[in-house]
Structure 1
Amino acid sequence: HVIVGTPGRVIDHMRRGTLKLDSLKALVLDEADEMLRMGFIDDVEQILEHTPVNKQVALFSATMPPAIQKIAQRFLRDPVEIKIANKTATVAAITQRYWQVTGTHKLDALTRILEAEDFDAMIVFVRTKTATVELAEKLEARGFSAAPLNGDMNQALRERTVDRLKKGALDIVVATDVAARGLDVERISHVLNYDIPNDVEPYVHRIGRTGRAGRKGTAILFVSPREKRMLRAIEQATRQPIEPMNLPTHEDIADRRVAQFKQTLSETLEAQDLGFFTEVIESYQQEHNVALSEIAAALAYLLQKERPLLPAPMPVERPVHASARESGRERSDRGERKDRGERPPRRADREPRGEESRPPRRVRDTAPGMERFRLEVGRAQNIQPKHIVGAIANEAGIDSQYIDNISIQDDYSTVDLPEGMPKDVMRHLQKTWICGQPMRIHREGEPAPVDSRGADKPRPPRSDKPATSERPTRSGKLNLGERTARSSKPAPGDKPPRSGKPHFGDKPLRSGKPGKPAHGKADKARKPRKP
């Protein structure tokens, strides 16, 4: 038998007794560094401690941090370390370029590149599973043959998508890092990083999908001004320069579309029998006395109505400065003095400025392309990093490598997630519970959302009994201001009967005159029983 499972699920089955490892022959720990990153390394050690001593263990890891080396020394017997050559050696066969994002028109920029580049097949990498579907649908709406590839798709659908890509029925695949891992399709000539990765290693894995079997490849990277540091880190790691590129102009796209239109006309004239259509056009010309060129122009307009040969220009935005500090430096360098001989006043001579006039300085210590979020749960709720990673990865479909910089405080936690999280994903996460508590995630600095199910109220006890403060005291009286759920007295059916005697509420009434007891004597006042 071969069992494949996550550490948490394996431990769950071990506790239930549905999985016994007494006869285990071999154990494979894949992506050990990812296990460490996600906080599952303690679970891995627990599993290894309950396995037979005489077993073969194989450990795979992209990196070997000290914690992973410690596990190898503890649980592996006479291990042999095998290192695979760094994939940066294959980067030499790949032409790398980047485009600096100047606004929010990444989709328009991608569309222009797809029209201007001569490519056979292309992979477009994004950060989240949701983004793969959204971007693929937008590209299909613009006339491209595109499909998503992510971990939420079942195995059969993923295999069918890859098969279509191999056979040429599909030209563009929008994928996440995990879904495209190990993808080997010779047709892939271009890799486009729509979202820049947070580390060098994922970037090398991405562009390694092209330039295979001795073929040349092209990698294009979208970079915002704040992500320039990551760009330099990639250049240093790959030891290859990444040259800037200019987007195809409005005229370039028009020339490209016209050339494709002419090519389509030539192929149609050579391959199709147009006798019937020729008679129709000649008849129309004689009836309306219209030149053939005008008829052809009208037909071309009808054919290209959905995709005009002259595209609409991309909106022009004001260039974005690299940072507020640089823009402030530019203003000071230009000088605001009217006279070169006039110097600005010294700091001590300036007029004092009130605290309310000084804008708060925002300290940004997040990685490029990341944004800090706050969760209204912390140590008081027994929150651990693995709980946060698991909840966000499972509910939002975000790869673990994009869940970073987790900090857990007493009553709240913070985590860095990809910048520009979709609104529907945020709404879903805000409804997610973690360790029995509402996550109530929101961007740091913004007010926390109010949970519609009463996030600010304590959860009711699991039993149907009232809380301790709502129960009657032993003296038979309630504390001031307290009431039971239904009445001020406990229900008779809730009191246990005395031994040997029937329950008072169950005693049958004896026959007698109304208003008098059956024995003819007045009942004495009974003392209330102690509850």
Structure 2
Amino acid sequence: MSNDLSGDFESLGLPANLCESLKTIGYELPSPIQAQSIPVLLTGQDLLGLAQTGTGKTAAFALPILANIDLSINKPQALILAPTRELAIQVAEAFQSYAKNTPGFHIAPIYGGQDMRAQLRQLQRGVHVVVGTPGRVMDHLRRNSLDLSQLKTVVLDEADEMLRMGFIDDVEWILDHTPKSRQVALFSATMPPAIKKITANYLNNPQRIQIEAKTKTVERIEQSYVMVSPSRKIDALTRILEVEDFDGLIMFVRTKTATVDLAQRLEARGYASAALNGDINQKQREITIEQLKSGKIDVVIATDVAARGIDVPRITHVVNYDIPYDNEAYVHRIGRTGRAGRSGKAILLVTPRERHLLRSIEKSTGQAIQEARLPTSEELTTRRVSQFRESILETLDSQELPEFKELISEVQAEANVSADEIAAALAYLAQSDKPLFVEKDKMLDEPFNYERRDSRRRDRDDRRGGNGGGRHNNTPMDCYRVEVGRNDGLRPGDLVGAIANEANMRSNNIGQIAINDTHSFVQLPQNLSSETNKVLQRIYVRNKQLSPKKVDDSEFPRQRRDRRPSNNDRRPNNNGDRRPNNNGDRGGRGDRNYRSKDRSNAR
């Protein structure tokens, strides 16, 4: 395929109404993936597109689909499969914006977590395009509520992500239920064996388009990381923000709830902040980005999906408050700064248990990330005093203050105190919300001591009998049976990671685990809230729903209990090597073989 990008969207063969919509949105020239993919898809050929996140893949497949839609046929003519609810919503919104000048066009996003009845009504009224997560698309196909008889095109968006989340079998099932004559477009950042298999089995002589990243990470971005205890991340972040001279800043977290929580906490600390996540509608998203551009807010806290497409020139810093599990996500995140030849800075907060993720990022990007230390209490004090002194001198230089001088003279005479004493009192009042003299904090002031913390961890494991798990406190426990076992490849770390991460439960509150062939048992704290029980019911591990059921404690096997994974656990990989257990911040969530119904939105 030609790499000539000199043409505009009209030269690619798109109809005038779509080109007009693109001008309204602000698109001027097609990106490389768009310039090469659109002509291929317009002709009906199958396509294999290899490109990194953030290269404009959505428009690359949405525009030719819209160009080929027959609005007189009120049945789905295109099906786009996306790995997550957030991405499905984003793709549907993109279609709507491109179809602004296409009256009569209808699209339906279908995903788990949304009322099935609303989706059924939408499909019954008739739609031209369906965007959905694999599980919910399968639900509608089984109900016969999704008619694919008129289907022309299937798009697999972020196919490697669907593989990582365990959806490949579902994708193949869906493809088997589509017309043989349909066009297939597969977009992926990488080509693991499972994606190659789908390409070979379901794509017909596809055109392969590969957009090579010019660099893994932008050379103008200064990258560093800070090692910090999980319980002190917000305090460490506050110190970083105080000493960094940033203009606009985007901060990444893993969950939608974390965006709101962190935005509120930063607002309370005096930073103009806003959250950006998949639950925020398009209008509010546009308002937030416009406020960031104009300087009304300085910090945006976002999830990976919600941040896609953000290009704000004043973003000088990117902070990874939560380290991403995906190396490509890191590259995409820090690419929000240092754009168009500008310089930028990326800071990564890493907890001790996440060191393996840091090493993985360095290996993937081929660049070492330098460790930085947090500013000490003394350095913060020096900075605050210096800023306070400068503000005093600036005020003396720029303001006439006769009334205030007279007031000070009156206080001095009445209280019989010196001007120095009055000035000291005023300085104290001025700094009451943010003390000039920062108290020492041993945990943040001292360099992070890996050896000391590892020693403490080993001591804890020794006191627990060396198994790194079991009941870590005196919390009364109930026994639960879960419907996943050894035959599914279950490991103790899978259960611990899934429950701790999804139910927001501390890993040391998860008791003993016993794994059988077809089911398992796990001890959880008594009197769980109804909300926690609902979350537990939605969790998937090893592609199977846990469906936990409280059972009598006597059912828990007493003779053999599977070890809870300790921080020092090491297990063999497929090559027989022994590698770290990859436990995440809450004891195992780094093992990615689980998903919740809310996160995958596929059931």
Alignment of 1:183-198 (within 5 A): 183-198=310-325
Go from structure 1 to structure 2 and tell me whether the alpha carbon gap of 1:425 and 1:196 turns closer, same or farther (over 3 Å shift): farther
What aligned pairs does 1:219-258 form with structure 2 within 5 A after superposition?
219-258=346-385
How far off is 1:151 after superposition?
2.6
Distance in 2 between residues matched to 1:179 and 1:32, nearest whole Å: 19
Partner residue, 1:33: 160
1:121 and 2:248 correspond: yes
Q: In structure 2, what is the equivalent of residue 359 of structure 1?
A: 465
Superimposed CA distance per residue, residues 222-278 of structure 1 (whole angstroms, 9 cap, x where no aligned partner)? 233443343333223222222221211222212222233344445555666655545
Aligned partners of 1:301, 1:239: CA distance in 2, in Å?
Answer: 50
1:147 aligns with 2:252: no
Is 1:217 the counterpart of 2:344 in the alignment? Answer: yes
Which residue does the alignment assign to 2:535? 429
Determine helix, strand or coil for the equivalent of 2:219.
helix
Q: Does 1:378 align with 2:479?
A: no
1:411 aligns with 2:516: no
Give the partner amino acid of 2:169.
D
In structure 1, the partner of 2:265 is 138
Moved more, 26-35 or 2-11: 2-11
**In the TM superposition, what are the counterparts of 1:254-333 in structure 2 within 5 Å?**
254-265=381-392, 268=395, 274=401, 276-316=403-443, 320-322=449-451
SS at match of 1:91: coil
Contact 1:88 1:204 in 2 (8 A): no
Structure 1's 392 and 201: CA in aligned 2 closer, same or farther, altered over 3 A? Answer: farther
Q: Distance in 1 between matches of 2:249 and 2:549?
A: 38
* TM-score, scaled to structure 1: 0.62
| Alignment deviations for residues 69-113 of structure 1 (CA, whole Å, 9 cap, x no partner) | 222222222212222223644432111112222674222221111
Name the CA shift for 1:297/1:424 in 2 (closer, same or farther; >3 Å). Answer: farther
Separation in structure 1 between the aligned mates of residue 549 and residue 273 of structure 2, nearest angstrom? 35
The one-letter amino acid paired with 2:482 is V
The percent identity for this pair of structures is 53
Distance 1:153-1:380 versus aligned 2 partners, 3 A rule: same
Instruction: Classify 1:431/1:269 alpha carbon distance in 2 versus 1 (closer, same or farther; 3 Å).
Output: farther
Secondary structure of the equivalent of 1:222? strand
CA distance in 1, matches of 2:268, 2:549: 36
> How far apart, CA to CA, are the structure 2 residues paired with 1:433 and 1:243?
37
Match runs of 1:3-152 below 5 Å: 3-86=130-213, 88-101=215-228, 104-152=231-279
Structure 2 Cα separation of the partners of residues 204 and 397 of structure 1:
28
In the alignment, which residue of structure 1 is the partner of 2:295? 168
Aligned to 1:404: none
Query: Partners of 1:359 and 1:413 in 2: how far apart?
Result: 21
- Kept after mapping to 2: 8 A contact 1:87/1:208: no
Cα distance in structure 2, aligned partners of 1:325 and 1:277:
58
Describe the superposition over 1:34-75 as per-residue Cα deviations: whole angstroms up to 9, x where unpaired. 222222223322332333344332211121112212222222
Find the aligned partners of 2:464 and 2:293 in 1 and give their Cα distance: 59
Using a 3 Å threshold, how does the CA distance of structure 1 residues 166 and 394 change in structure 2: closer, same or farther? farther
**Residue in 2 aligned with 1:347?**
none
Q: Is the 1:150–1:176 contact (alpha carbons within 8 Å) kept by the matching residues of 2?
A: yes
Higher relative contact order (CA 8 A, sep 6+): 2
Looking at secondary structure, tell me which structure has more helix per residue: 2
Q: Structure 1's 86 and 392: CA in aligned 2 closer, same or farther, altered over 3 A?
A: farther
Tell me if the contact between 2:277 and 2:306 (Cα under 8 Å) persists in the aligned partners.
yes
Deviation, structure 1 residue 286: 4.6
Superposed CA RMSD? 4.3
How far did 1:220 drift? 1.6
* Counterpart residue identity of residue 437, structure 1: S
SS across alignment from 2:442: coil
Letter in 1 for 2:466: P
Partners in 2 of 1:382 and 1:328 — Cα distance?
32
Rg comparison, structure with higher value: 1
Paired AA for residue 52 in structure 1: P
Structure 1: gaps spanning 5 or more residues: 330-355, 364-373, 399-406, 415-422, 447-531
Whole-Å separation in 1 of the counterparts to 2:185 and 2:408: 74
Indicate the SS of the match to 1:81: strand
- Retained in 1: the 8 A contact 2:503–2:536? no
- Distance (whole Å) between structure 2 residues aligned to residue 439 and residue 304 of structure 1: 55
Match of 1:438 in 2: 548
Aligned length, in residue pairs: 390
Question: Which stretches in structure 2 are left out of the alignment for 5+ residues?
Answer: 1-127, 470-478, 506-514, 523-528, 552-561, 566-603
Matching residue's letter, 1:123: I
- Write the distance in 1 (CA, Å) between the matches of 2:185 and 2:297: 37
Which amino acid is the alignment partner of residue 410 of structure 1?
Answer: T
Shift of 1:307: 0.9
